Amino acid sequence: MITAKSKIYKVIATSFAGITCLLTSLSAQVIDSSFANFSTHNTNQSITFTSGAVSSSNPAVTIGGTDNDITVEGTADLSSGAFQMSGHTNGNTLSITGGILGQLQLNSGLDTTTISGGEIASIALGNKAGVTVNGGKILGNLQATGSSSAATINSGIFLGDVNVSNNSTLDILGGSFDPNSTLSVVGSSVVNIAGSNFLLDGEIIPLDFIPSTNAGLLTGTLADNSSFEMSVDVNNGGVINLTAVPEPSTVAAIIAAAGLLLISNRKRKRAVIV
């Protein structure tokens, strides 16, 4: 069923190998039943997918318009086709906290997308598009291949390859990556990885970066203390920068040592006063 949280507005439904829901002017909607496919191109909408399944594909969901707040949560099954944020959008916010999606296609550099849960088949970033991943599971590839696209990974599970090209940027601070997958960095793109104990094919990396025309097995510990192991392929002007971040145990030891030093200094001052 498609229900409105506030006032009911106009919904047009047409049939073509199923039902396509075209939102025309609805301030807030909760979608909790199955449907064929979904499309909206309006402004200032709040749309939440909570449950139900979409049956058709190419794409399953299309979000256009401006200043819309889109949420995917709960058990929503949108995996039959792509979930597409149109390239003609401006200022939309997409938050994925649950559910199952097909390929997530992000095509606008003016939208904000955050993933903190759910299961996604793959992610494709178009020109200047961006995404922040704080959780969830990505079953296939992450492709930051649109011109000047950008991605930040703080956490999450990645089971496919990661491809970065066309002057794009990827920041990796945490997460779990399949050791059998490949990180490809080409076309003057930059990948920044924060962590410690990085080795390339078992050898220390002397300059804290991996320049172009290098390939091998990169291992280390990410900033969130996750183990990292991926094959890397850096070519055609790409580069991987490695930023040293102390492991949590090291930080704890430094804090403990600083505390002991502070206590010792206070005792010395008291002894002098006496």
Using one digit for the tens of pLDDT, what is the confidence trace for 60-82? 999 988 999 999 999 999 999 99
Kindly report, residue by residue over 200-227, the tens digit of the pLDDT. 999 999 878 998 888 999 999 999 999 9
pLDDT score of 266: 56
The pLDDT mean for the chain works out to 84
pLDDT score of 86: 84
pLDDT score of 252: 46
Residue environment code for 22-51, b if the CB has 16+ CB neighbours within 10 A, otherwise e: bbeebebbbbbeebbbbbbbbeebbbbbbb
Stronger pLDDT, 140 or 249, i.e. the higher one: 140
The verdict on pTM exceeding 0.85 is: no
The CA distance from 4 to 21, in Å, is 14
CB–CB of 112/133 below 8 Å? no
Quick one: pLDDT band at residue 238, thresholds 50, 70, 90? very high
Quick one: pLDDT band at residue 17, thresholds 50, 70, 90? very low
Q: What is the mean pLDDT of residues 84-113?
A: 91
- CA–CA–CA angle 271, 273, 274 (5° rounding): 65
Residue 260 φ then ψ, to 5°: -65, -40
Query: Hey, where are the domains in the chain?
Result: 2-273
- Amino acid at site 81: G
Q: Does residue 271 surpass a pLDDT of 70? A: no
